[in-house]
A and B are shown apart, each in its own frame.
Chain A
Amino acid sequence: MPVVGVNRDKLFEALGQKYTEEEFEELCFEYGIELDDVTSEKEMLRKELAARTTGAADLGEASEEVIYKIDIPANRYDMLCLEGIARSLNIFRQRETPPLYRLADMAGKQMVRMTVKPETALVRPFVVCAVLRGIEFDSVRYNSFIDLQDKLHQNLCRQRTLVAVGTHDLAKIRGPFTYEALPPEDIRFVPLKQTREFNARELLQHYLANDQKLKKFVPIIQNSLVYPAIYDADRTLLSLPPVINGAHSAISLDTRDVFIECTATDLTKAKIVLNTVVAMFSQYCSTPFEIEPVEVVDALGDTQVYPQLDTRQMDVAVPYINSCIGLELQADKIAQLLSKMQLSAAAAPDGSSVVVQVPITRSDVLHACDVMEDVAIAYGYNNLVKTVPSTVTAGKELPLNQMCELLRGECAMAGFTEVLTWALCSHAENFSKLRQQDDGTTAACIGNPATAEFEVCRTSLLPGALKTLAANKDIPLPVKLFEVSDVILLSSQKGCGAENRRRLVAVLCDRAASFEVIHGLLNRVMEVLQVPYAADPDPTLQRQRQLLGGGYDWRADDNSPAFFPGRHASVFFRDRRVGEFGIVHPEVLEAFELNNTVAALELDLEPFCFDQLGRPMETQIL
């Protein structure tokens, strides 16, 4: 969720009321935003400096005015600045009515024009524009204007990949403008915050090497044959989107007429971004909420006028709203509630529906369910009467999970203590530390791990158990541990190419390797699973073996490099290998930094998921 920092006193001024922190938190809670932190510029600077240096920090002239950090829901782009938060809350508290955003009457005036060149289709095809006339900035408004663009870039614009906003002082440039795509060497200009001219290729190299903030936007266009560029009638470069603007057209506190351009790979989002910026800052124009349109001539010669400020009309059935929330409200009451949420609404003449006008600030409203939610919020979630659905169903556990719940208890009763380790591990833990080669057919691999701890999905539970032993060397010996969890194996049986398998691992760590003890656990586990030993001559077991289609046995072999030669056996159920046990190889112990011997058992539990009559139960369901 985006967090927006606003000056508390300015916010309260805009809300026409001072609140205590508790009162303000309460208001936020009701509306669905959250007061995340209370701080100040000075406090933030102090924390930042404290993180970097140890000595006494020089906080200079940093302001001590209180800043509220407010969590905004990710779909409310109109609340990413003080203006938007104040407007939403004022309307919610019915101090204001939603403003009517409108285009300036351009009759008899020349509309600013932006012409799009066909080459832009190769890199960043869309641009939409608008002009704010007679705006009055002060430092608070100006910073809020810049912050809003930042917040939009971070969220809706997906770090400028989808949309990038450029704002310019219209007095310093001259239309008509062109949106072009040119070879990087042909784009030469003095960028913002620089004093010399760069060509675009050179500039991107410069940012990659020197600019922590801007370098992350470089890859968006770097490998394109042509770079996007916006020029004015005198070939002055306005911007090299989505990276940087030209220095020439930079806005300042004195700027009165602002030209806004949003270039994009996603036209829908470009329109939302443009609408959000003009909806918020047209309130400071000489005629508030009036926006001067710009005509954009696309590569085919078709002309569109932006911004598109029309509200969208929705007819929402009253029974739909009531039946989803669990209320019985009349249409006019619903309309009244919706007006608190910036949705102008009126009851249809027959009262069966409400006619809702969705303004440009509410781009999150996609469906009648969004309107329904706003009715519920305006009504107050906590004012709803709790009801319990009459849905009658029977509770049921998944057979595999239920069996494992029971088996876990049995393992604990057998003297083993349960551990719970991660499904993700390093490649070495899963392979080389177990003296195994990765033949590429077993482990699912992660492409973008944040740390080297998480490179692959485990194909065995053993590394986790060994790591747990290594992390608990202070526990008196012997230590007996077990875990019932899933491993992940590549599988052609599954559409996604991998499947979970439920396994049991048990380890016994002691000064002398106790093969018999771990062997005894295998026998005990089979006993409680009602799986007879294949070679047991007891005739009473014969029936159970018949029911299951066979019993279990173990066969000595040395085909598992993680185990000590001559001290390893594979476990078979119905003649299929289902697990192994033995003494862990000393080199494996060394790799996991263990000083004492370890005996281990690992068993696939899924073949043992059958009901009381021995009938197999599905374990791989999805």
Chain B
Amino acid sequence: MAALQLETDLLAQVGAGQLADSAEFAEAHNVDHQAVVGLLKSLVMADMVVMEAIEHSRLTVTPAGQLYVGVAAPEVQVFNAVPAEGITLADLKTQLGVAGDVGFKQAMQNKWVGIDKSGGEPKVVRKVESVQDTVLPILNALAAGQEGSLNEAELTPLMRRKLVAKEAWKTWKVGKGPCFALQRKKAATELTTDMLQSGAWRDTTFKPYNFDALGLPPSGGHLHPLLKVRTQFRKIFTQMGFEEMPTNNYVESSFWNFDALFQPQQHPARDAHDTFFLTKPAATPASNFPADYLERVKQTHQHGGFGSIGYGYDWKVAEAEKNLLRTHTTAVSSRMLYRLAQEGFHPAKYFSIDRVFRNEAIDRTHLAEFHQIEGVVCDYGLTLSDLIGTLQQFFDRLGLKKLRFKPAFNPYTEPSMEIFSYSEQLEKWIEVGNSGMFRPEMLRPMGLPEGVNVIAWGLGLERPTMILYQVDNIRDLFGHKVSLSMVRKNAICRLGL
């Protein structure tokens, strides 16, 4: 019978005040009682009906008891199976199975049988001549549904022996609820286009919405948090009038990466321990470096010039030709400053954010490649105070307003300053970057005019991002071991707001 028809019939019967027992209704409609109960419960939820329980109980033969219905009580089976000369317990059990086990205990208790050990091997023997089966008639009567003929005294021992059990169940008397109607109005989940078109929304009841649950997560892609931060830094730089440098050249010569920056050829940074040197392409032939500039770089390293005494060592072109993966984006700055000198100097502000490489073992805070942020300003008469002022402007935009500066050393800047910022979050001063004025030994060989100073600073992209997004392992942020759920969950970057 269709569920809807069943509901209609049921409501009609309740409406007529005639549903005294749900079991009768089920039987009359030839459906399982449980189906009727399910329907009733949903009607109760809708306050259309009320239910009142009718308790029922009856005695039934348990599955264990069913074994003996129409046969004999197990203790009787045992008694019958014991011959005059006796039988071993093992043989008895083999012969009777479960009945043997259960029946033997009961027959012993009834003192119908006993154990005779006189013949050596213990045997089960009869103790009485004959027995009467009082259990079987009860089981047969219950199995036939004739409970009424039995009395409590007869039944209790069998219930204790778990051959008989009491079964309880409920049926329901059904009456009208406060919202009774002959037809149920179905509550709608969502407002639909069909309802709009038919106007049905006016008469429709809507299911209450569960406001305690979260909504469905939207589908769609996500941007990587490190690059979201990069985007903000790019905006800050361009808003401050900086022009982006072309940094898409990871393979660089030692010449532009080190020599042009007046970094001596024996400097520890030029060790294989710190820098990735390439076997292919192994070198940039010196013919690719501007010949006159190369000569000025060599002279400045060896003997000085432009007011410097130089490093006083034997500069080797072969060392400058060695290719490497750039260790800093300042390699690009040096190319840009050289280019600026060749084009005819004009004041310039440059920035870049790109990858640099260090031959380091990787751990929670170090990677072999990471992003360097760099800013450079070149103009006549720039001062250290200008550098400090520019840094203050820049870091203000990052929300790091409280700065102080520590003298430092860097081969290509003089003066050099480490930038520290007071972190309210960590309640201490933390290093946030490095800065300085490029040395004349770097700038003058390029052909930049006397009086032109270049101030520059650099910082990592990963560290501020880790602080912003509370990532404590750099490998969770950059590289294939990134946590995609982190990428999906991360917030917009508010740097520069």
- The residue that B349 contacts in the complex, of A366, A373, A393, with Cβ under 8 A, is A393
Complex: A390 Cα to B285 Cα, angstroms: 41
Q: Mark B244-278, 1 if CB is under 8 A from A, else 0.
A: 11101111110000000000001010001000111
Contact between B250 and A622, CB atoms less than 8 A apart: no
Contact between B409 and A76, CB atoms less than 8 A apart: yes
User: What residues of chain A lie closer than 8 Å to B416, measured between beta carbons?
Assistant: 373
Nearest to B248 among chain A residues (CB) is A500
User: What residues of chain A lie closer than 8 Å to B304, measured between beta carbons?
Assistant: 366-367
Q: A268-B312, A468-B480 are in contact. Are A423 and B414 (CB under 8 A)?
A: no
Decide yes or no whether A384 CB sits under 8 A from chain B.
Answer: yes
Contact between B406 and A32, CB atoms less than 8 A apart: yes
User: What residues of chain B lie closer than 8 Å to A450, measured between beta carbons?
Assistant: 359-361, 368
Decide yes or no whether B74 CB sits under 8 A from chain A.
Answer: no
Contact between B323 and A496, CB atoms less than 8 A apart: yes
Decide yes or no whether B77 CB sits under 8 A from chain A.
Answer: no
- The residue that A367 contacts in the complex, of B240, B278, B282, B308, with Cβ under 8 A, is B308
Q: A266-B266, A372-B415, A500-B250 are in contact. Are A394 and B409 (CB under 8 A)?
A: no
- The residue that B251 contacts in the complex, of A34, A391, A488, with Cβ under 8 A, is A488
B375-389 with Cβ < 8 A to chain A: 377, 379, 381-386, 388-389
Nearest to A379 among chain B residues (CB) is B384
A29 to chain B, nearest CB (A): 5
Contact between B279 and A475, CB atoms less than 8 A apart: no
Nearest to B238 among chain A residues (CB) is A395
B381 to chain A, nearest CB (A): 6
Contact between A396 and B221, CB atoms less than 8 A apart: no
User: What residues of chain A lie closer than 8 Å to B355, measured between beta carbons?
Assistant: 423, 486
Number of interface residues of A (CB under 8 A): 107
Contact between B250 and A386, CB atoms less than 8 A apart: no
Contact between A396 and B390, CB atoms less than 8 A apart: no
- The residue that A324 contacts in the complex, of B359, B409, B453, with Cβ under 8 A, is B453
Give the contact stretch, choosing among A194-202, A294-302, A397-405: A397-405
Contact between A444 and B251, CB atoms less than 8 A apart: yes
Decide yes or no whether A207 CB sits under 8 A from chain B.
Answer: no
Contact between A446 and B325, CB atoms less than 8 A apart: yes
B351 to chain A, nearest CB (A): 9
Nearest to A485 among chain B residues (CB) is B355
Decide yes or no whether A122 CB sits under 8 A from chain B.
Answer: no
Decide yes or no whether A323 CB sits under 8 A from chain B.
Answer: yes
A102 to chain B, nearest CB (A): 23
User: What residues of chain A lie closer than 8 Å to B397, measured between beta carbons?
Assistant: none
B182 to chain A, nearest CB (A): 47
B306 to chain A, nearest CB (A): 8
Contact between B221 and A417, CB atoms less than 8 A apart: yes
Contact between B385 and A387, CB atoms less than 8 A apart: yes
Q: Mark B302-341, 1 if CB is under 8 A from A, else 0.
A: 0010111111111000000001010000001001000000
Decide yes or no whether B242 CB sits under 8 A from chain A.
Answer: yes
Decide yes or no whether A308 CB sits under 8 A from chain B.
Answer: no
Complex: A451 Cα to B368 Cα, angstroms: 10
User: What residues of chain B lie closer than 8 Å to A327, measured between beta carbons?
Assistant: 385
Q: A326-B383, A464-B480 are in contact. Are A446 and B276 (CB under 8 A)?
A: yes
User: What residues of chain A lie closer than 8 Å to B283, measured between beta carbons?
Assistant: 497
Contact between A471 and B482, CB atoms less than 8 A apart: yes
Contact between B384 and A369, CB atoms less than 8 A apart: no
Q: A162-B266, A324-B383 are in contact. Are A499 and B281 (CB under 8 A)?
A: no
User: What residues of chain B lie closer than 8 Å to A208, measured between beta carbons?
Assistant: none
Decide yes or no whether A31 CB sits under 8 A from chain B.
Answer: yes
Contact between A385 and B221, CB atoms less than 8 A apart: no
- The residue that B392 contacts in the complex, of A386, A414, A454, A457, with Cβ under 8 A, is A386
Q: A388-B389, A405-B234, A420-B478 are in contact. Are A472 and B219 (CB under 8 A)?
A: no
Decide yes or no whether B241 CB sits under 8 A from chain A.
Answer: yes
Complex: A395 Cα to B238 Cα, angstroms: 4
Contact between A393 and B347, CB atoms less than 8 A apart: yes
Contact between A495 and B284, CB atoms less than 8 A apart: yes
Nearest to A491 among chain B residues (CB) is B281
- The residue that A381 contacts in the complex, of B252, B368, B377, B405, with Cβ under 8 A, is B405
Contact between B437 and A417, CB atoms less than 8 A apart: no
- The residue that A413 contacts in the complex, of B221, B282, B379, B409, with Cβ under 8 A, is B221
Q: Mark A65-93, 1 if CB is under 8 A from B, else 0.
A: 00000000111100000000000000000
User: What residues of chain A lie closer than 8 Å to B246, measured between beta carbons?
Assistant: 398, 621-622
> Shortest 4 CB-CB distances between A and B: which pairs?
A497-B281, A32-B407, A326-B385, A495-B288
Residues of chain A whose beta carbon lies under 8 Å from any beta carbon of chain B: 1, 29-32, 34, 73-76, 155, 158, 162, 266-269, 312, 323-327, 364, 366-370, 372-373, 376-377, 381-382, 384-389, 391-398, 400-401, 405, 408-409, 411-424, 440, 443-451, 453-454, 457, 464, 467-468, 470-472, 475, 479-482, 486, 488, 490, 494-500, 502, 619-622
Q: Given contact pairs A155-B268, A324-B453, enumerate 13 new A-B contacts (beta carbons under 8 Å).
A: A73-B409, A324-B384, A367-B309, A372-B415, A381-B405, A387-B389, A418-B224, A420-B226, A420-B478, A422-B367, A447-B282, A448-B272, A457-B251
